């Protein structure tokens, strides 16, 4: 039987689809996404795409310039460092370490931050005031300071610096989540759920969390760019990842010793960090304006 329904024939895109359409309309955002995807692919498939072992030293080929210079050779695309290690492979593995650890830290900070933030947002009275104010004030301690203290207690190393950065990232998530939960708790749909007898846990899982995911994704990109910069800064200051481990900041810091002789050892890791952070920021920005467009239309 032929059916005619005006409403069923119309296609209703889901919120995420609408966000994607809005995101896609910005060329810059797509460019950033492609660049970020490029970095992710290189990081994930680092053992396959890198031509050499990043720790393999070769005394026969020290400080070979990158391939686009006249004295360079195509066997080492980005040249070699003072120990004869292939810079291209080291940068690929560096992306893997930096981006991977950044991602881990953001996920961890998000989990902890959202739990604390929800808790703080649902609290009321003096308790909430104390928790909120103290968290706000402690949020102000700089990452570098936390990192220095943790390194002093536990010693240097990538994992220790990761703890420090995670600790420094948590307050932002706490803050955002708390503000969001507070605002949402006053809305009517929460009231109706409450009238239906939902307890706090059900309220959070079924009502608040689905509305919060977008905010969390956007905040996650912000945190990821901070995490990448911080990991590489600590690696650069010799407080994070230690020498044989390829990490972009540490590679840059090591390259500083031969900056006169072999400037590509400083320039290439620096450009990589810059492009990585730039692509994350562009994607985050694009996502944010896409969400804003969707809400305003």
Partner 1 sequence: MIQILSRYAVLFILTLLVLTAMSFSLVYLFPGDVLENLTGIVPQNDIQREALMRQFRLDQPYIVQFFYYLTSLLQGDWGYSLASGLPLRDEIGIAMPATIELSTYAMLMALFIGIPLGYYAGLKNYSTTDHTINALSITTYSFPVFWLALILILFFSLNLDVAPLSGRISLLFDIEPVTGFVLIDIMLADGIDHGLAYRDAISHLALPTLAIGAITTASMVRITRRSVIDVIHRPYIVAARSRGVSEWQIFFRHVLRNALLPILPLMAIQITTLITNAMIVETLFSWPGIGSWLIQAIYQRDFPALRVGMLAVSTLVISLTIMVDLFNRIIDPSREKYERATV
* Choice from 232, 240, 265, 290 touching partner 1 (CB under 8 A): 232
* 252 binding partner 1? (CB under 8 A): yes
Tell which positions 177-216 bind partner 1, by CB under 8 A: 178-179, 182
* 167 binding partner 1? (CB under 8 A): no
Residue 148: other Cβ atoms inside 10 A: 15
Q: Which stretch binds partner 1 (CB under 8 A): 10-18, 41-49, 107-115, 252-260?
A: 252-260
* 237 binding partner 1? (CB under 8 A): yes
* 52 binding partner 1? (CB under 8 A): no
CA distance 168 to 165: 5
CA distance 243 to 240: 10
3-state secondary structure of 151: helix
Any idea which residue has 């989990």 for tokens? 111
CA nearest 276: which of 30, 36, 28?
A: 36
Q: Give me the 123-142 binding string for partner 1, x by CB under 8 A, dash otherwise.
A: -------x-xxx-xxxxxxx
* 19 binding partner 1? (CB under 8 A): no
Any idea which residue has 């390829």 for tokens? 246
What is the rounded end-to-end Cα distance, in angstroms, of the chain?
A: 38
* 223 binding partner 1? (CB under 8 A): no
Nearer to partner 1, 46 or 273 (CB): 273
* Cβ atoms of residues 135 and 85 within 8 Å: no
* 295 binding partner 1? (CB under 8 A): no
CA distance 61 to 240: 28
CA distance 162 to 99: 12
* 281 binding partner 1? (CB under 8 A): yes
> Cα angle at 53 between 232 and 98, to 5 degrees?
20
CA distance 52 to 66: 15
Q: Which stretch binds partner 1 (CB under 8 A): 10-18, 100-108, 204-212, 222-230?
A: 222-230
Tell which positions 143-162 bind partner 1, by CB under 8 A: 143-145, 148-149, 151-153
Interacting residue ranges for partner 1, rule: CB under 8 A: 28, 130, 132-134, 136-145, 148-149, 151-153, 175, 178-179, 182, 222, 225, 229, 232-233, 236-237, 239, 249, 252, 256, 259, 263, 266, 270, 273-274, 277-278, 281-282, 285, 288
């Amino acid at each position: 039987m032929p059916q005619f329904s005006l409403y069923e024939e119309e296609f209703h895109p889901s919120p995420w689809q609408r966000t994607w359409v809005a995101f896609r309309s910005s060329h810059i955002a797509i460019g950033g996404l492609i660049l970020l995807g490029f970095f992710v692919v290189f990081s994930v498939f680092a053992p396959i795409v890198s031509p050499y072992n990043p720790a393999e030293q070769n005394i026969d080929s020290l400080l070979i310039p990158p391939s686009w210079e006249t004295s360079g050779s195509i066997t080492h695309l980005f040249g070699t460092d003072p120990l004869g290690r292939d810079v291209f492979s080291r940068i690929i593995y560096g992306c893997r370490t930096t981006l991977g650890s950044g991602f881990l830290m953001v996920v961890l900070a998000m989990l902890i931050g959202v739990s604390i933030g929800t808790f703080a947002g649902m609290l009321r009275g003096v308790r909430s005031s104390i928790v909120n104010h103290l968290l706000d004030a402690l949020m102000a301690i700089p990452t570098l300071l936390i990192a220095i203290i943790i390194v002093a207690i536990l010693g240097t190393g990538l994992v220790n610096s990761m703890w420090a950065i995670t600790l420094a990232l948590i307050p932002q998530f706490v803050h955002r989540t708390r503000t969001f939960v507070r605002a949402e708790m006053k809305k009517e749909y929460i009231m109706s759920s409450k009238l239906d007898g939902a307890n706090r846990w059900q309220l959070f899982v079924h009502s608040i969390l689905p509305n919060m995911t977008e905010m969390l994704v956007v905040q996650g990109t912000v945190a990821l760019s901070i995490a990448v910069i911080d990991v590489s800064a600590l690696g650069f200051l010799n407080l994070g990842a230690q020498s044989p481990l390829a990490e972009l900041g540490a590679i840059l810091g090591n390259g500083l010793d031969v900056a006169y002789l072999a400037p590509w050892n400083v320039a290439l890791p620096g450009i990589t960090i810059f492009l990585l952070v730039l692509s994350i920021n562009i994607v985050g920005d694009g996502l944010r304006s896409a969400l804003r467009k969707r809400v305003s239309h």
